Chains A and B, each alone.
Chain A
């Protein structure tokens, strides 16, 4: 790489082993294994990038040449990436359990959960998707970094589907871990409740659309913080956009003094944790919002340099097929002081929304959906509702958070999608939070 006519070059090689197990109802639909070998070269010339991905790892020099030729075509102006200390390191994964656990014992556990779902009266069918991966990434760049990292990931999504008189209702449960198989053990009771909830939804009414005071459980509030604010704090949305920079100026107030939002791969032991990002930058823990004001944002080496801010180690690629882009890692709202009872006690009429189906954002507008929701009347949880979709505007909604609980929990069942790269392992979390005037779609 050295001595080439480029400002910066990096090479990534990757070996991955994946196991997938899929059930639909009583049918074990798929047990499959995938093995991948591939890599990429990325080159930077005067601010323009060339990127070459391949899975024939011979003739690397030709690939480097091609990436440089492409970068030259995009070259614009003199530009230097933000500085980072070259690292030479080998990071082993302490938890390599998915590879050491036999297919037979994985299947036995999933069989048990499937039996719990299908054994619940009025349940029509189930849907279970289990996935584990073990990935070894070797990274080297023209500045002298050489890093080997081994990462494991486990994800399980169980869905119970109930139907009656042409109505179909579903409730899902998602769990994940960075390789620790025990995280998906012992869920029988939770799985049973999930299945029962799907049945109860058949006779539940739909929420009336409108603005409500809503309380989000830690799981859904984690999805909320990811969608409503996390994506907007990714600097690649901002760094070339003067108007958005004016809006997202550091020090701007977004919420109450009690609001603190953090992202960080240096928060250990979660699905979004790592030692180095995919540009070889050490992971950090970053306060996006501290005491209600915008303190920093998530960066790659390019966005940090362009904006004159510090790197945060947030450049991630889902695999060798894609270049690294700015992504979240483990994102959460820090806990406050209130108990759940205190949060709901003075609500006359509102909605308590739990657990997630999904969420998305346009940066300004976001939506997120709860798979479980209840009316709250006179400070008490009242009747169950059909799943609700909540929506808001980031510049208004964060400031409408008026209560933050003391019960932070991290959820590891989700994956994030951006720029065609999905699902990226992330963790989201929050304590219970209360939001005034949240828009809910409905009848």
Chain B
């Protein structure tokens, strides 16, 4: 890395080298049986330059001559955007726990056994189910150095266990599933087994539902698959700067229900989306986005923050190119209503566990519309069965303006979102006739 930096300094006034290396071991089960064991090692080196005030960028996956990488980056400078930021000087980073050395002690045999136990426990409940399971462990190391003397470095361990099950009866397919991630090894399969068995129980019977407006309880998976994509884009500092976010001029305004709070938090110990430094050397932090319904902040990287006359929130993240604002862990504040009380309150409504396609509408405007892959009908305060061939449509700004109730329990879904159940009204349910 130092060689790349010194080559780069010969060609440009300022430079930054970012290196990430990873070693990941996924174990896959297909159709209830062990199928494939993988071992993946990868090293990427990214160079960002500022030359004559303009940003250049190049990345190499695998080995490359330092001089060649510097030349590739320098070649793009001529066309690059004007740099409005400086690379961070030496900083003090918060001590965020993201590494558990126990991950090294987990053997492939342990992971195989974990998958087998998980599949066995689900098949004891439902013998005909066909499961795909992945158990994955990994370690990544991130190093950043820049020409201003800034240096950041950390390692992260992670473990993920996930299951997707399909149960086919005639031409009816029922999909169930869950996954858990942590920086600690997860060697207990029971939380996933319990969740999936709960889904199978609630979906035992198919029931029909009417086309009309009705209340919906979004479970944590339901929140992740329906409501999060529009919010992530609306709070992205870059979309706010462009005017492509409906929240552009709403800072300090009451846009959401008073019960609703949302924050981005990269500092939670042992969460897979946590880090002490973001991908451009800015210390991580907790950033309130919605405080009791009031829009309180957006998330930024260095360049976007400079253009918007504010500070980076430590959300510069790389996805194969230059850093761009991305959430770390998102947390929705919990409420005080148990799930069963929400159900009891509904005369006719729906529990949404998973929508597919919801993020494929005009999410910039907050619109979502998706097919209920897993959801249950509520009649007179009780869950009566599974609903299918049904779409749920709404607008996040309308439905989160007045939330009926927020759940008292929260959980992590998809490794980056901690959320309770949200009980909302005014959703359009459209279903097949006959």
Seen from chain A, the residues whose Cβ lies within 8 Å of a Cβ on chain B are 20-22, 24-25, 27-38, 48-57, 66-67, 70-71, 73-74, 76, 103-104, 107, 124-125, 127, 161, 163, 166-170, 209-211, 240-241, 243-244, 247, 321, 323, 357-369, 386-389, 391, 393, 395, 437, 439-443
CB distance from A262 to the nearest CB of B (A): 24
A34 pairs with B391, CB closer than 8 A: no
A24 pairs with B238, CB closer than 8 A: yes
CB contacts between A and B, total, < 8 Å: 263
Q: Is B205 an interface residue (CB 8 A)?
A: no
CB distance from B259 to the nearest CB of A (A): 22
B37 pairs with A73, CB closer than 8 A: yes
A87 to B250, CA, bound (A): 63
A365 to B33, CA, bound (A): 26
Binds A, one of B116-124, B282-290, B354-362: B354-362
A55 pairs with B63, CB closer than 8 A: yes
Evaluate whether A107 and B79 lie within 8 angstroms (CB atoms) in the complex, with A169-B365, A441-B428 already known: yes
A357 to B168, CA, bound (A): 30
With beta carbons under 8 angstroms apart, the residue of A53, A161, A361 that contacts B244 is A161
Closest 8 CB pairs between A and B? A367-B357, A55-B62, A240-B31, A441-B369, A209-B430, A358-B360, A37-B62, A441-B391
Can you spell out 22 A-B residue pairs with CB atoms less than 8 angstroms apart? A24-B238, A31-B56, A31-B79, A34-B58, A38-B42, A53-B40, A53-B42, A55-B62, A56-B62, A57-B62, A161-B243, A210-B430, A240-B31, A359-B357, A362-B371, A363-B173, A364-B172, A386-B362, A386-B367, A440-B430, A441-B370, A441-B393
Measured CB to CB, the nearest residue on chain B to A241 is: B130
A104 pairs with B360, CB closer than 8 A: no
B60 pairs with A389, CB closer than 8 A: no
With beta carbons under 8 angstroms apart, the residue of A28, A244, A362 that contacts B80 is A28
CB distance from B175 to the nearest CB of A (A): 6
A56 pairs with B360, CB closer than 8 A: no
13 further interface pairs, Cβ-Cβ under 8 Å (given A49-B35, A163-B246): A24-B238, A35-B60, A52-B38, A55-B63, A56-B62, A161-B242, A161-B243, A168-B362, A209-B391, A362-B175, A365-B173, A386-B367, A389-B369
B62 pairs with A36, CB closer than 8 A: yes
B58 pairs with A35, CB closer than 8 A: yes
With beta carbons under 8 angstroms apart, the residue of A38, A53, A161, A439 that contacts B389 is A439
Q: Is B41 an interface residue (CB 8 A)?
A: yes
Which residues from B are CB-within-8-Å of A367? Answer: 356-357, 360, 370-371, 391
Which residues from A are CB-within-8-Å of B68? Answer: 35
A32 pairs with B428, CB closer than 8 A: no
Per-residue contact bits, chain B 63-95, to A (CB 8 Å; 1 contact, 0 not)? 110001100110110011100000000000000
B360 pairs with A357, CB closer than 8 A: yes
A24 pairs with B76, CB closer than 8 A: no
B393 pairs with A20, CB closer than 8 A: no
Q: Is B235 an interface residue (CB 8 A)?
A: no
Measured CB to CB, the nearest residue on chain A to B32 is: A240
Measured CB to CB, the nearest residue on chain A to B33 is: A76
A124 pairs with B242, CB closer than 8 A: yes
B391 pairs with A439, CB closer than 8 A: yes
With beta carbons under 8 angstroms apart, the residue of B35, B108, B356, B428 that contacts A209 is B428
